[in-house]
Amino acid sequence: MGFRFIPVISVVLTLLVSGTVNAAGAIKIGALFAVTGPAAFLGEPERNTAQMVVDEINRAGGVRGHKLELIVYDTAGDATKAVQLATKLVKNDHVAAIIGPSTTGESMAVIPVVEKDQVPLISCAAGIKITDPVKKWVFKTAQNDSLAVARIYEQLQRQRLTRVALLTVSDGFGSSGREQLKAQAARHGITIVSDDTYGPKDTDMTAQLTKIRGSHVQAVICWGTNPGPAVIAKNARQLGLKIPIYMSHGVSSKKFIDLAGEAAEGIRLPSGKVLVADLLPNSDPQKRSLMAFVRDYQKHYRAEGDHFGGHAWDAVMLLKGAIERGADTPAAIRDQLERTRQFHGIGGTFTYSAHDHAGLGKDAFVLVEVKNRDWVIVK
């Protein structure tokens, strides 16, 4: 009986022992991504991109002669696991910096760990709380929701639309967007007439939309990630809702158009520039980085590079920049990160300072519209 297990056990042991072997002089970078679980749509492209960029850097001879060694752990989107793995990266792997986690909740959970053990963290999550107030060791690459909200409100102002209805998803992304939509409304002269939410797994939003139809609004703003907003687009079309619909950057990928089909036509949303990289004028300072990222991702993974991968691309390149400027200890990398000026990445043009660890301006977003099943830039 007991002997039958021996082959199984020996396979497991072999797998355990054959872990990472360090190359001498390599600089270790830890990464925490939600590769599995509900946030896998973030974690998987992030992991792929980070690995791709690090491999490329090493193939080109590393940074100042140092190879980079990427240690990736899967948090499965669980805050408790993220904390354990952050501790592991710091205490056992002795990494010089950490990239990730993928979600705001996990990022908030690991902040106490990196602040105490003094290791720089570049989060790939969007939540504004991560870097506001500024924490000494914490940076982020994903655009703040506030910038996306400002982009939508500016457009509405230009078109003199003032009465809006909100429809937000009840998860971290939706609640953060809802908070910002409410906070910035008055500043742009906008009145929120109705404010509804829907569950992340809901499959019919007719009830909320019927209510909105009856309330004389001039535009609907919907905040969510796939597939909810596609359902809303379809329901709106079925109900014959004629007013303009704005979505968030949470659905700025081809997937949304595939899901919503015909109903996506005319929908507008703020988006990072990667979605429309080939449509950007050559004068755009980000164009070179964007085209390189899209091309490489296509080559390695035969898939469209998206914003989420872009967050990891930015994080690795920001670290590379800091190391290039002479840093190799956690403290020096942190100081050099803070001195990043005018880095043209995927998410935008980053300029960090002692008061700003998010680093992006309003130009990080462009407003796009769905036309003929593709994106066009709204002028």
From candidates 36, 51, 162, 206, binder to other proteins by CB under 8 A? 36
- Least Cα distance to 369 among 293, 269, 273 occurs for 269
Asked if 80 is part of the footprint of other proteins (rule: CB under 8 A), the reply reads: yes
Min dist CB 89 to other proteins, Å, is 8
Say how many residues touch other proteins, by CB under 8 A.
Answer: 38
| C-beta separation of 352 from 156 below 8 A | no
What is the number of helices (H) and of strands (E) in the chain? 12, 14
Min dist CB 190 to other proteins, Å, is 21
Which residue, 107 or 340, is less far from other proteins as judged by CB?
107
Asked if 84 is part of the footprint of other proteins (rule: CB under 8 A), the reply reads: yes
Which residue, 111 or 275, is less far from other proteins as judged by CB?
111
Residue 275 CA to residue 250 CA, distance in Å, equals 12
Q: Report residue 217 as tokens.
A: 């609004």
Q: Report residue 284 as tokens.
A: 């755009």
Which DSSP string do the residues of 347-374 spell out, in sequence order? S-EE--BTTBSS---GGGEEEEEEETTE
From candidates 102, 123, 143, 176, binder to other proteins by CB under 8 A? 176
Asked if 172 is part of the footprint of other proteins (rule: CB under 8 A), the reply reads: yes
Binding to other proteins (CB under 8 A): which residues in 95-114? 104-105, 108-109, 111-112
Which residue, 72 or 269, is less far from other proteins as judged by CB?
72
Asked if 90 is part of the footprint of other proteins (rule: CB under 8 A), the reply reads: yes
Asked if 7 is part of the footprint of other proteins (rule: CB under 8 A), the reply reads: no
| Chain centroid offset of residue 92 CA | 28
| C-beta separation of 123 from 86 below 8 A | no
Which residue, 62 or 330, is less far from other proteins as judged by CB?
330
Q: Tell me which stretch binds other proteins (CB under 8 A): 79-87, 228-236, 334-342, 369-377.
A: 79-87
Q: Tell me which stretch binds other proteins (CB under 8 A): 138-146, 168-176, 268-276, 324-332.
A: 168-176
292-324 exposure pattern, b = at least 16 Cβ within 10 A, e = fewer: ebbebbeeebeeebbbbbbbbbbbbbbbbbbbe
Min dist CB 61 to other proteins, Å, is 27
SS3 label, residue 111: helix
Report the greatest alpha carbon distance in the chain.
78
C-alpha angle with apex 225: 223 to 230, nearest 5 degrees? 85
Contact positions toward other proteins, by CB under 8 A?
1-3, 12, 15-19, 36, 73, 77-81, 83-84, 87-88, 90-92, 104-105, 108-109, 111-112, 116, 127, 129, 170-172, 175-176, 179
